[in-house]
Amino acid sequence: MTANTIAINQMMDKFDGRHSVWLFGYGSLIYKADFPYLQRRPASIAGWTRRFWQGSHDHRGTPEAPGRVVTLIEEAGAICHGMAYLITPEVFAHLDHREKNGYLRLAMPITFEDRDEVEGLVYIATPDNTAFLGAASEQDIAAHIARSVGPSGPNSDYLNHLATALRELGRHDQHVFEIERHLAALQSK
């Protein structure tokens, strides 16, 4: 699948006619909501886990030297914690452009902390997109992040902001915190 997903996402019509839709954020959307929203609530999705397995050609790296950013990978029994935003459909045009590097909008059940559930949307970079990098050890991912930079800034800022935001949410993410630990060790050398 092409890495530029704008056209594919614009054909997604599942929530057409709705005044507002819940969007689940698990990466930069947790700490960087550069769009208007009606409500914001901590939430989770079941059966998916956050992984730094997606290449970033346009934000935290370049086409020649992609950085590493998060996507969601299906895993039975996993719970991914993040932040949900109630947004109006116009906001998707902005997000489709911001997240055009391989991310598809998928419909999915979102669970709030009070266990209320809604069907909402989440952007996921699936393994068949051309920017997908796949699995590596947390140590190798930290080394990759340490040397990557793109138009949105150093890849390390993305990782550190995400780790801080997860801590503020009171959520432990072994994968993210292990990468953060390796990165701090590399940067103190």
Nearest CA-CA partner of 54 in 108, 113, 123, 147: 123
Smaller CB distance to ligand BEZ: residue 99 or 138?
99
The bridge status of strand 153-154 relative to strand 67-87 is unpaired
Distance CA(10)–CA(165), nearest Å, equals 30
Say which residue the tokens 């996921």 belong to: 124
Listed residue (53, 173, 43) closest to 120, CA to CA:
43
Rounded Cα–Cα distance for residues 154 and 147 (Å): 8
Strand partners, 149: 154
We find the least distance from the C-beta atom of residue 188 to ligand BEZ, in angstroms, to be 28
Closer residue to ligand BEZ in complex, CB, 34/188: 34
CB of 28 to ligand BEZ, least distance (A): 5
Is 99 tagged catalytic? Answer: yes
110 vs 146 by CB, closer to ligand BEZ: 110
Which residues form the interface with ligand BEZ (CB under 6 A)?
Answer: 25-30, 70, 99, 103, 123
The minimum distance between CB 185 and ligand BEZ, in angstroms, equals 26
Q: For the CB of residue 103, give the shortest distance to ligand BEZ in the complex, in Å.
A: 4
H helix runs in the chain, sequence order: 6-10, 28-31, 91-98, 138-146, 155-168, 174-187
* Residue (94 or 187) nearer to ligand BEZ, CB: 94
Active-site hit among 74, 75, 99, 180: 99
Catalytically active residues are: 99
